Structure 1
Amino acid sequence: MPDRLHRRSARLSLLLCVVCGGAVMLGAMLFSEHEAKVRVADHEQLIGDDLVQSVDRILDSVSSRHRNELAALAGQPCSRVGATLADLETYLRYVRAVALVAGDRLYCSSALGAIDAPLSDYPLSAGSGDSIGLLAQTRYQPGVPVLVIFNRTAAGTGVLSIVEGDYLADALAHGVRYGAQIASISVADSGRINARGSFRTASAPLTAYTTRVASRKWPFSILVSSSEGFVSGMHWKYRIAGLAVGLLLDGLIAAGYLLMFAPRRLLLNAVRQALRRNEFHVVYQPIVDTATRAPVGVEALLRWEHPKWGAINPASFMGEVESSDMLGPVTQFVMRTAVAEMGLRPAAIPLRIAVNVAPRDLQRKGFVAQVEALTAQLPAGVTLVLELTERFLLGESAHTSAIFSALKARGVRFAIDDFGTQHSNLDLLGRFQFDYVKIDRQFVGQVDNGGTELVRGIVSVARHYGLKVIAEGVETESQHAALLEAQVPFAQGYLYQRPMPAERFATLRRTEEIS
């Protein structure tokens, strides 16, 4: 049955690898298509921005040059100001003619002199400033599109400037040269003029355009669509790139399957066999009172003695164990062994037995019942301490809090391990019912170089929450002295004792009791 399960797991892993490879390739191609569309849109936006600036410059020039002089002529008789109007028009760039407006009629033109035409012939955009509009033609020059700018100089008077559509077409032609299939200027409700100088009404369909860029100064927009050659080239470029990336990622997935999935199965199988063959054992590192250096507890540490490879470092297999179904049996082995070995030697009874607990342990069904059963076997005066790293407690859950409450009621104590590393969060000390804070060895190692203040800070924070501090990794007398000065009550490390079997710890405790 186990072999069948292993084969099924292998087939499942291979299937997962194939599915992931296909999904990656599909995702790479979809992403490449998306990126191509984004690049085309960015290119059109860039062209549109450039064309908007060009047309803005034309309109700004027409609107601002000799504005006051022209405004002073509006409302005066054409016979008196016609010559001045014609003279001023020669200084205006882009302008074919300028007309003066009184009431709702044009009455004087720089090109034709006295005229009489309704202002309503020139559809203009609504706005607080100058108004503009596009026309397919004027009554005085049929078939030639123009843009008109109307400056209301005072109540009942104004100046109407007529800009040749060819100037706009020339500006739009720059966009076509930079990869646009078509480019047009559009004024709402009056129509649009394209790069060929052709006029289209406002009701004409806009399906040929894919990007609209509005001017921030004037009430017009630039409509742009990229050329088919540019769009096709961009899509092929990103398809090739997407295919290359997809193949690379698929290769990495295949390599990852070979390097990770297969060895992981072999490793977990070896752990399973090691439990059956009693290759695991537990050693204990004393936790001492820093004032007297007398042992007050132990931390139970798992060790693996392989018959062929010898001692195997827990760091090389516990990461995989913690993310697998082997976590429960391994954690239970450590707790059960520690409780049994310490309980058999009353002379060496420690005050605390500390056991490391992984994140998934708290989620395992039956975990609380297992711990409660073990605490019932502890001799009087012995406390089980579960050590948890802070990184997985950041997302508080009602389930985790319930486990804390249930086990605390049975006398179990909790320690937050590696405090200060990775995802430090002081709020954890208030949200969870911890009893001890363990200072990580990296901070203990810094006290030789003036890092005592940080340790004092952690001690102060722990004291605020009613917690006791344990320093890990103490290796020198100077570190011990600094911890003692910082009022750290408990410590462990090679300076005091290396991890040892239960028999040696019992001897150590008897020696302490005799002395």
Structure 2
Amino acid sequence: MYDPSNSAGGKLSALHGPAGARRSFAPRLTLAIAALCCAAVTTGAVLWGERYADHEVEARESLIGHDMVESLDRMLTNVRTQRRDALLEMVGQNCRDIALPLAELETYVQYVRGINLVDHHQLYCSSALGPLSMPLASYVPRGTPGSHGVIVNLLAGTPFQPGTPVISMYEPSGDGKGVEYTIEGVYVTDTLAHGIRYGAQQVILSMPGSGVLTDKGDFVPSIKTPTDVGTRVYSTQWPFSVAVLASATLATEMHWRYGLLFGALAILFDLLIVALALLALAPHRQLLAAVRRGLRLGQLHVVYQPVVEIATRQIVGVEALIRWTHPRWGSVSPSVFMAQVERSPLISRVTRFALHSAAADIAQKTTIRPLRVAVNIAPLDLQRKDFVADVLAVNDTLPPGVTLVLELTERFLLEKQPRTQAIFDVLKARGVQFAIDDFGTQHSNLDLLGRFPFDYVKIDGQFVRQVDRGGAALIRAIAAVAKHYGMEIIAEGVESEAQHAALRELGIPFGQGFLYQRPTSARELHVEPEPGMAATRP
């Protein structure tokens, strides 16, 4: 039966002892606060999601409304400007003399049913009917000239077609004289109906004092005009507005979409809160004290995983990896303690230990040359004043043919700080090289390759595992960008011959993974050469 007390995790939990029991109230309070925070985040996310969905519905209504207004603006402006001067010159002339030219001019003006000339407040000549006598009030019942000097009315119909809505535009040219344009309502209706295709349930054209025209072609008098229909957009050129009401389908879609989105965000924040709560309850100080004792008593040691040249499988480098063997807990995984160590002042001692151990082991326990020795660096290392001195002191002790490589993960370098750049410049001038580790994960940022002078880019193993199953495109893209900046590619996590062959096919120069050798001591570093090639190194 499994006994957790025999595992590293169980032993670490034992560090609490009786003191942990006496402080049992604090964990409960922490968990209660975390639960309240989770509830508040979830509730806030739901309310925010609803509000955001309503905002998006209104934005869609506004977008449709502006599109409709723009189309109608173009329609009215086009009617007024086409052959305007020629039409105004005809006003007051005998209809029998100008009937034919008037009918011809009407063919150049889009959207109109007819153009009527006005004299003495009477429509006396029509492009469609020729001579006629009709009071101007039948087509222009109300209004004063607007910014264009034109009076616009929405009518339920004309004396000749009383049931067919039209827009009447009248441009005076003198006392009781002018030109009246009768615009077919069907063109306006067709324009409004386009809004239905983009998620509107109803689109309405409204003119003050006249009434409204719906997307179905129905005219509603002004006394029955609805005032609270969706979102209203006003024309800045002509005296009308368009009201848009989103469809129930669109509204439901928006609420579902943003409900799921903000719900997912709430879950992520809740998980973050829970993680922080658990982190607050973790025995940080006890764990760090145990690591400190381990350093002092020689419980920590360094193992090495080869980096090979893919074409030949010859070892060209190693990555130094810290391991902890506790006398009671046994082998402790780095994931248990390194994350805590990297965020504490203890990281300086651990990094120095890794640097000095790697330098001594490679100098004394292996004759493989030339060789690159990679050591992982934490973000706090870059903030230490003595970091550069520590690295240079170790670099100066390395034997000929051995190059020190510092590996940094991309999440530490998202912002190019002057101090970080200075560290790069000083160390590279002394022969130290740099590698960006786990590239492609977390905050993946190709821009880093251009902002920092790396020598190597290590592609994370999760992408390498897909390289022989159609996932080579990303590796090829990263390799192309790295080559552009003069950097070499190292593929991490190579575990199969198929992956090795695929990487070789892509032209990736270096690889690292269990296929070649698991982490081992410096004395046991050995990789079988590529089939068909003889080993050329000791």
Looking at structure 1, the residues matched to 450 and 71 of structure 2 have their Cα atoms a distance apart, in angstroms, of: 59
Inter-CA distance 220–459: structure 2 relative to 1 (3 Å threshold): closer
Inter-CA distance 497–264: structure 2 relative to 1 (3 Å threshold): farther
| Unpaired stretches in structure 1, ≥5 consecutive residues | 86-94, 201-205, 507-511
SS at match of 1:150: strand
Indicate if the aligned counterparts of 1:41 and 1:211 stay in contact, CA closer than 8 A: no
Aligned to 1:329: 346
Aligned to 1:134: 153
Aligned to 2:43: 25
Looking at structure 1, the residues matched to 468 and 255 of structure 2 have their Cα atoms a distance apart, in angstroms, of: 57
Indicate if the aligned counterparts of 2:118 and 2:124 stay in contact, CA closer than 8 A: yes
After TM superposition, list the pairs within 5 Å mapping 1:477-492 onto structure 2.
Answer: none
Listed one character per residue, the Cα deviations across residues 86-120 of structure 1 (whole Å, up to 9, x for unaligned) are xxxxxxxxx99985335x86473789838799x99
Alpha-carbon deviation of 1:401?
A: 0.8
Looking at structure 2, the residues matched to 208 and 441 of structure 1 have their Cα atoms a distance apart, in angstroms, of: 55
The alignment status of 1:198 with 2:198, answered yes or no, reads no
SS at match of 1:149: strand
Correspondent of 1:387 among 400, 407, 427: 407
After TM superposition, list the pairs within 5 Å mapping 1:160-179 onto structure 2.
Answer: 160=180
SS at match of 1:123: coil
SS at match of 1:219: coil
Aligned to 2:416: 396
Aligned residues: 455
Correspondent of 1:108 among 112, 124, 148: 124
The alignment status of 1:262 with 2:278, answered yes or no, reads yes
Alpha-carbon deviation of 1:403?
A: 1.3
Correspondent of 1:211 among 204, 208, 232: 232
Indicate if the aligned counterparts of 1:385 and 1:414 stay in contact, CA closer than 8 A: yes
Alpha-carbon deviation of 1:275?
A: 0.9
Aligned to 1:222: 241
Looking at structure 1, the residues matched to 399 and 74 of structure 2 have their Cα atoms a distance apart, in angstroms, of: 89
Looking at structure 2, the residues matched to 495 and 96 of structure 1 have their Cα atoms a distance apart, in angstroms, of: 82
Indicate if the aligned counterparts of 1:284 and 1:301 stay in contact, CA closer than 8 A: yes
Inter-CA distance 61–262: structure 2 relative to 1 (3 Å threshold): same
Inter-CA distance 15–220: structure 2 relative to 1 (3 Å threshold): same
Inter-CA distance 408–13: structure 2 relative to 1 (3 Å threshold): farther
Looking at structure 1, the residues matched to 205 and 469 of structure 2 have their Cα atoms a distance apart, in angstroms, of: 73
Looking at structure 2, the residues matched to 247 and 413 of structure 1 have their Cα atoms a distance apart, in angstroms, of: 48
Alpha-carbon deviation of 1:276?
A: 3.8
Inter-CA distance 113–321: structure 2 relative to 1 (3 Å threshold): same
Alpha-carbon deviation of 1:331?
A: 6.4
Aligned to 2:304: 284
Inter-CA distance 428–13: structure 2 relative to 1 (3 Å threshold): farther
Looking at structure 2, the residues matched to 238 and 487 of structure 1 have their Cα atoms a distance apart, in angstroms, of: 46
Alpha-carbon deviation of 1:501?
A: 3.2
Aligned to 1:360: 379
Looking at structure 2, the residues matched to 253 and 464 of structure 1 have their Cα atoms a distance apart, in angstroms, of: 38
Alpha-carbon deviation of 1:51?
A: 10
The alignment status of 1:414 with 2:433, answered yes or no, reads yes
Inter-CA distance 387–10: structure 2 relative to 1 (3 Å threshold): farther
SS at match of 2:456: strand
Alpha-carbon deviation of 1:161?
A: 5.3
Indicate if the aligned counterparts of 1:437 and 1:469 stay in contact, CA closer than 8 A: yes
Inter-CA distance 150–380: structure 2 relative to 1 (3 Å threshold): same
Aligned to 1:339: 356
Looking at structure 1, the residues matched to 497 and 281 of structure 2 have their Cα atoms a distance apart, in angstroms, of: 44
Alpha-carbon deviation of 1:386?
A: 1.1
Inter-CA distance 267–503: structure 2 relative to 1 (3 Å threshold): farther
Indicate if the aligned counterparts of 1:416 and 1:438 stay in contact, CA closer than 8 A: yes
Looking at structure 2, the residues matched to 34 and 223 of structure 1 have their Cα atoms a distance apart, in angstroms, of: 24
SS at match of 1:224: strand
Alpha-carbon deviation of 1:283?
A: 1.1
SS at match of 1:282: strand
SS at match of 1:499: coil
After TM superposition, list the pairs within 5 Å mapping 1:54-133 onto structure 2.
Answer: 75-77=92-94, 100-102=117-119, 106=122, 108=124, 113=133, 123-125=144-146, 127=148, 131-133=150-152
Alpha-carbon deviation of 1:297?
A: 5.6
Correspondent of 1:275 among 291, 294, 303: 291
Indicate if the aligned counterparts of 2:115 and 2:181 stay in contact, CA closer than 8 A: yes
Looking at structure 2, the residues matched to 306 and 108 of structure 1 have their Cα atoms a distance apart, in angstroms, of: 109
Inter-CA distance 254–14: structure 2 relative to 1 (3 Å threshold): farther
Correspondent of 2:323 among 303, 325, 328: 303
Inter-CA distance 331–289: structure 2 relative to 1 (3 Å threshold): farther
The TM-score normalised by the length of structure 1 is 0.56
Matching residue's letter, 1:212: V
Looking at structure 2, the residues matched to 41 and 461 of structure 1 have their Cα atoms a distance apart, in angstroms, of: 43
Aligned to 1:92: none
The alignment status of 1:35 with 2:53, answered yes or no, reads yes
Inter-CA distance 379–269: structure 2 relative to 1 (3 Å threshold): same
Which is further off, 490-499 or 234-243? 234-243
Alpha-carbon deviation of 1:461?
A: 7.0
Alpha-carbon deviation of 1:270?
A: 7.3
Matching residue's letter, 1:333: V
Alpha-carbon deviation of 1:339?
A: 1.0
Listed one character per residue, the Cα deviations across residues 205-244 of structure 1 (whole Å, up to 9, x for unaligned) are x9999512549xx9342243879xx99xx99999999999
Correspondent of 2:170 among 129, 134, 150: 150
| Unpaired stretches in structure 2, ≥5 consecutive residues | 1-15, 103-111, 160-164, 213-218, 527-534
Looking at structure 2, the residues matched to 460 and 43 of structure 1 have their Cα atoms a distance apart, in angstroms, of: 44
Aligned to 1:501: 521
Indicate if the aligned counterparts of 2:91 and 2:179 stay in contact, CA closer than 8 A: yes
Alpha-carbon deviation of 1:282?
A: 1.8
SS at match of 1:396: coil
Correspondent of 1:437 among 456, 480, 484: 456
Looking at structure 2, the residues matched to 146 and 237 of structure 1 have their Cα atoms a distance apart, in angstroms, of: 36
Inter-CA distance 447–107: structure 2 relative to 1 (3 Å threshold): closer
Looking at structure 2, the residues matched to 30 and 356 of structure 1 have their Cα atoms a distance apart, in angstroms, of: 46
SS at match of 2:346: helix
Once the two structures are aligned, what percentage of the paired residues are identical? Answer: 23
Alpha-carbon deviation of 1:399?
A: 1.9
Matching residue's letter, 1:272: L
Alpha-carbon deviation of 1:295?
A: 6.7
Looking at structure 2, the residues matched to 272 and 116 of structure 1 have their Cα atoms a distance apart, in angstroms, of: 95
Alpha-carbon deviation of 1:440?
A: 4.5
Indicate if the aligned counterparts of 1:29 and 1:242 stay in contact, CA closer than 8 A: no
Indicate if the aligned counterparts of 1:45 and 1:211 stay in contact, CA closer than 8 A: no
Looking at structure 2, the residues matched to 429 and 54 of structure 1 have their Cα atoms a distance apart, in angstroms, of: 50
Aligned-residue Cα RMSD (Å) equals: 7.1
Indicate if the aligned counterparts of 1:282 and 1:337 stay in contact, CA closer than 8 A: yes
